Structure 1
Amino acid sequence: MKSLMDPCCEKCFHTPASPCRDYIRCRTQGPLCHDDESCRAKHKAHLEAIHLPPESEKRQILICAGTGCTSSGSRKLVEAFAEELAKHNLQERVAVKITGCHGFCEQGPLVIVEPQKVFYTRVQVEDVPEIVEGHLVNGQVVERLLYVDPTTGERALTYETVPFYAKQKRLVLHNCGHINPEDVADYVASGGYEALTKVLFEMSGEQVIEEVKTSGLRGRGGAGFPTGLKWSFVRAAEGDVKYVVCNADEGDPGAFMDRSVLEGDPHAVLEGMIICGYAVGAKEGYIYVRAEYPLAIHRLKIAIAQAEKYGLLGENILNSGFSFRIKIKAGAGAFVCGEETALLTSIEGNRGMPRPRPPFPAQKGLWGKPTVINNVETFANVPLIIKNGGAWYASMGTEKSKGTKIFALTGKVNNTGLVEVPMGITMREVIFGVGGGIREGKKFKAVQIGGPSGGCLPEEQLDLPIDYESLTSAGAIMGSGGLVVMDETTCMVDVARFFLNFTQAESCGKCTPCREGTKRMLEILIRICEGRGEMEDLETLERLARVVKNTSLCGLGQTAPNPVLSTLRYFRHEYEAHIRDKRCPARVCRALLVYVINQEKCTGCGACARACPAGAITGEKKQPHTIDPAKCIKCGNCMQKCKFGAVELA
């Protein structure tokens, strides 16, 4: 295969200095044009012949090979399909392709048959012969493997008709689940690196930044700072050495947005970083990704090597005179390293701890040089903005929050997974539209948005639009995109304790408010959950939370009190029930549980008494038993062993 820095072909006048529209695509597939007057037409025909085959001649089997589906055995499906296709002599007519995460992780392993877009769920190796013979040979869809809507019972034939996908707007995720993340040709065939070509040969750095400003793109890592403005600060900063850093240190419990993009479309992130480097005048970039993401790191390394091989990264990119290199830095898993200054300190080889600001990284960042720091999702948006225009991007979303946002939708909701929705969509639309509502018909109680540093919003906030300003006013934050749904069985005091326990453990300890304040807050929450709280604890807890929020050095401490403050704001009655009534309304806090035996249901079989490790259950054989609350240790063994449902919670 020829180098991307060579002309299209010997008789073509289009060169890297004056490229034709499909130059990069031609380079990855090999030149076919031999007539300079019809170069574009030849390129177009070439692409259609390779990437847009007729349905009757070429089909594809797309197998999700993201972390979720891989852990469910999807890699075995690749070999199984290859073997089965060979048995039917279909290996030349049907391609088997691995992809990144489709998003609907709980339904994995996922398989899509293109071009019909048929969507199969929870596919196992033993299902492969039926798919090949039934679907590919005889044209009969395997209905039992189609997605079934848990609320209506209806089957969805294609992924576009699955409610989980139908209500999304997938921009950043448009390639995830549809291209092979380990093949640069797949990326360029979908329009990849066209934005980079446009930037290198048609735009100045100032024009790139203005386009990003026009788009209204804000940082997707949590704070929501205007991306174009940040880039302009770095471009204007003095010095010849500048850096571009991608924050892929995704540490929120249950969050996997960045991981999925890196695994499913790594070249989009690389392209965004290269464009940023060109715009601000940087020649070197770093991707800081946690070591717990081995598949993401593996695919990033492949993508970087391929981009360098074809002249898309490295010295003199596409013979444009611009050079840019990208290195990977694997983080050790400290949550605080998601904070930009702590991240920079870690890249420099020191313990990840935040620095006082100002100076901000845009003036004094990595090794004291001006530095742009954006997260994975932010960079992945950039090629789309450059390719389609800032005004196009700004047409989506709200007045101050443009574009789309990716969320990891988890918790007590029917459809869990990775979703991308327009800014301004309501919580209700996401949870009950995309998410399919609450599991087992239970009642919605709250949604935690923004990760462990976010806030818990109640039912009355379900129609709140998802944008930066609305969430902040409600006591939550956009964060990186965690969205945890809770039902009536969730104790909000216990939720606040859980998230504060996480952030307290992850505090680096550098500043006193965060180090000591979160510890004292956690002690109060533990006392309340154990039934030892007092009413004055609520005032103390709230006062401590505001001190920590207002005086901590970095974003970890400044946002750690959010779960406490939001639950006190919306669920104060649950705190009061724990303290005044010594009762957990959701029956979650173990110390406040009271087990009793229903005398009418008890048969006196003695199973509960034999299971009790504390000897708290007594009674004659075949006579109703009783539980001594003074001896009961709240283990719940009696309830698990009772076959008659006689053991109940008071």
Structure 2
Amino acid sequence: MSRTGNAVRSPVLRVSGAGRTERGARVLSAARRTADSVTVLRTGPTGISEYDPLVLATDAGRTAFFPTAETSRVRDLVTAMEDGELPTDGAAAVVDHDAERTTLPVPTDGPLAVGTRRVLGPCGWLDPLDPTAYQFHSLDRDASAVADAGLVGRGRCDAAADDPVADAWRRARETDGDPVVVVNANDADDRQRADRTLLAGSPMSVLDGVAAVAEYLGTTEAVIHVAETDTELQAHLREAIDAAADELPVVPVVVTGPDEYRAGEPTAALEAIEGVDRTEPRLQPPTPAEYGLYGRPTVIHTPRTFARVRLALADPEGTDRDAASTTRLLTVTGDVAAPATIEVGSDARLSTARNAVELEGSFKMACVGGVFGGLTRTLDVESTAAELTAAGLGTEGVVELLNDERCAVATAGERARFASEANSGRCVPGREGTVQLTELLRAVYRGSFDRAKIRELGRVMSRSSNCLLGAHAPRPVLTAMDEFESSFEAHADGRCPSGTCSDKL
């Protein structure tokens, strides 16, 4: 590949998201077979799956965007570029930009224009397996400034979710024993795509964030935990780690765990990494920072938290070291033509997410926060953890848009049933409470809607469960009751207002 310093020499044709579909692989192969002087670069996904494979034709600071390109089209694009032309006919967008930029140039409209792309910036633009593109040597990895900035963990797989990461870092550094860093990337909930998008599109950002935290802790040991069934991601990460081994002071080890929802809980992930027969959350305290992997002080974050650390270190102006100005990754999914992962500012409202996807049908409600998020009729809520929590919604970074064919009672019931099947059984609220919650919802279909009993059970579970599954399992039910109580009453009378269910449990 031809380069000038850290920049790819123009003209260059990028193929984004080629690994997601067979067509993407064919497009990439066709481009490489056709190219002679044109550089063909395979990049990771942009987060907008509707566009995959996305072909970006760039020359001299100008880029033309061609979503869902076919092999015949990409051959024509390469041929035109070989002849010294930048093809723009039929492009979804054409963007002028700095020829040396290291983040995706953003069109003025369309899904890629939704929100802002800071953590997602390299995704779809840089070669995810080329460490030189990330300019590691120019980065000061002193994480002390980040620790003082108030950055918080992101996602249910993060041991510091919605809490300042500095608390866990300092506790781990002060605890006796050799510390270790864990990247928890094993989330079996298909609704959540943010971490997978980052690992596929910008693994070097995650690895650099890991290195910064490891140096802060004074350790050279790190582990990346991924699902045992995701062999493509495993191979991709190992290739990225090998490529960056000479650039980074920490070389993580990839370890696989069961592809189960409960294995994503941070302490359950530690059990999985240790290879125990039964994966279940540990009792806390002590926290992982005090007693983590093999009893060692452990910092365990999601990929998006580590990528956020890297961005903060790389920001010379200090903007991304300010917790109040950080962004949030949101995966927009549900009844949509294709899911999308976007990035929004702290002052953005969730309604922004609707601009990134095409909703199939009319909007009825959203479930915000993953499988155990809160149901809401409105997305007029800011994306901060405080605002989401105050609205009874989840903070995991998922906005599931549901259309008018959905039944609120059935939606809540299906999630309660999932909780009864997926919990570890370690504590009574998780083991028995989820079963009782499911039975109370089944009773609604049989004509008995006991509001008070459901709310009291939810209160007990949320306060006394050992893990977040048991604590959050009542949330879809309670928020559905708040927003759609008349639908529960109708079901108790033997009628589904949406006309889509009889007995869904």
- The TM-score with structure 1 as length reference comes to 0.70
Which amino acid is the alignment partner of residue 182 of structure 1?
A: L
8 Å contact from structure 1 (residues 457, 566) kept in 2: yes
- Give the structure 2 partner of residue 221 of structure 1: 155
Residue number among 494, 519, 522 corresponding to 2:438 in the alignment: 522
Listed as ranges, the matches of 1:172-211 within 5 Å are: 172-184=119-131, 188-195=132-139, 198-199=140-141, 203=142, 208-209=143-144, 211=145
Closer/same/farther in 2, CA of residues 193 and 452 from structure 1, 3 Å limit:
farther
Which amino acid is the alignment partner of residue 270 of structure 2?
A: L
In 2: Cα distance, 1:455 partner to 1:123 partner: 37
* SS of aligned partner of 1:486: strand
Structure with more contact order per residue of length (Cα contacts < 8 Å, sep ≥ 6):
2
In 2: Cα distance, 1:493 partner to 1:389 partner: 50
Answer yes or no: is 1:104 the counterpart of 2:48.
yes
* SS of aligned partner of 1:287: strand
* SS of aligned partner of 1:123: coil
Give the percent of matched residue pairs that are identical in Structure 1 and Structure 2: 28
Listed as ranges, the matches of 1:237-316 within 5 Å are: 237-239=175-177, 241-308=178-245, 310=246, 312-313=247-248
Shift of 1:295: 2.3
Which amino acid is the alignment partner of residue 298 of structure 1?
A: A
Answer yes or no: is 1:73 the counterpart of 2:7.
no
The runs of 5 or more residues in structure 1 that have no matched partner are 1-28, 30-45, 86-90, 148-157, 318-323, 593-650
Which amino acid is the alignment partner of residue 106 of structure 1?
A: E
* SS of aligned partner of 1:233: helix
- Give the structure 2 partner of residue 129 of structure 1: 75
8 Å contact from structure 1 (residues 244, 371) kept in 2: yes
Q: Rg bigger for which structure?
A: 1
8 Å contact from structure 2 (residues 18, 27) kept in 1: no
Shift of 1:391: 3.4
In 1: Cα distance, 2:244 partner to 2:171 partner: 28
Closer/same/farther in 2, CA of residues 475 and 49 from structure 1, 3 Å limit:
closer
* SS of aligned partner of 2:318: helix
Residue number among 248, 251, 265 corresponding to 1:339 in the alignment: 265
Which amino acid is the alignment partner of residue 274 of structure 2?
A: E
Which amino acid is the alignment partner of residue 471 of structure 1?
A: L
In 2: Cα distance, 1:49 partner to 1:489 partner: 54
In 2: Cα distance, 1:191 partner to 1:457 partner: 43
In 2: Cα distance, 1:183 partner to 1:500 partner: 44
Which amino acid is the alignment partner of residue 370 of structure 1?
A: P
Which amino acid is the alignment partner of residue 176 of structure 1?
A: C
In 2: Cα distance, 1:463 partner to 1:245 partner: 35
In 2: Cα distance, 1:348 partner to 1:137 partner: 57
The runs of 5 or more residues in structure 2 that have no matched partner are 94-104
Closer/same/farther in 2, CA of residues 218 and 50 from structure 1, 3 Å limit:
closer
Closer/same/farther in 2, CA of residues 469 and 331 from structure 1, 3 Å limit:
same
- Give the structure 1 partner of residue 478 of structure 2: 565
Shift of 1:142: 6.0
1:65-95 deviation per Cα after TM superposition (whole angstroms, max 9, x unaligned): 355xx3242111122112233xxxxx12x11
Which amino acid is the alignment partner of residue 237 of structure 1?
A: T
- Give the structure 2 partner of residue 598 of structure 1: none
Answer yes or no: is 1:512 the counterpart of 2:456.
no
Closer/same/farther in 2, CA of residues 386 and 497 from structure 1, 3 Å limit:
same
- Give the structure 2 partner of residue 474 of structure 1: 391
Closer/same/farther in 2, CA of residues 190 and 304 from structure 1, 3 Å limit:
closer
Which amino acid is the alignment partner of residue 374 of structure 2?
A: G
- Give the structure 1 partner of residue 353 of structure 2: 430
8 Å contact from structure 1 (residues 170, 420) kept in 2: yes
8 Å contact from structure 2 (residues 64, 88) kept in 1: no
Listed as ranges, the matches of 1:559-598 within 5 Å are: 559-580=472-493, 582-591=494-503
1:174-207 deviation per Cα after TM superposition (whole angstroms, max 9, x unaligned): 11111122232xxx33434532xx23xxx5xxxx
Shift of 1:136: 5.8
Which amino acid is the alignment partner of residue 294 of structure 2?
A: W
Closer/same/farther in 2, CA of residues 345 and 66 from structure 1, 3 Å limit:
farther
Which amino acid is the alignment partner of residue 162 of structure 2?
A: G
8 Å contact from structure 1 (residues 403, 423) kept in 2: yes
Shift of 1:390: 8.1
In 2: Cα distance, 1:524 partner to 1:107 partner: 43
* SS of aligned partner of 1:544: helix
In 2: Cα distance, 1:263 partner to 1:224 partner: 24
Closer/same/farther in 2, CA of residues 515 and 390 from structure 1, 3 Å limit:
farther
Closer/same/farther in 2, CA of residues 302 and 193 from structure 1, 3 Å limit:
farther
- Give the structure 2 partner of residue 13 of structure 1: none
- Give the structure 2 partner of residue 166 of structure 1: 113
Residue number among 452, 472, 478 corresponding to 2:371 in the alignment: 452
In 1: Cα distance, 2:186 partner to 2:137 partner: 25
In 2: Cα distance, 1:141 partner to 1:52 partner: 19
1:372-398 deviation per Cα after TM superposition (whole angstroms, max 9, x unaligned): 111110001112211215831145x74
Closer/same/farther in 2, CA of residues 144 and 275 from structure 1, 3 Å limit:
same
1:503-552 deviation per Cα after TM superposition (whole angstroms, max 9, x unaligned): 22211111121111111211332343xx313133x332222222222221
Shift of 1:468: 0.7
1:284-312 deviation per Cα after TM superposition (whole angstroms, max 9, x unaligned): 1111111233222112101211222x2x3
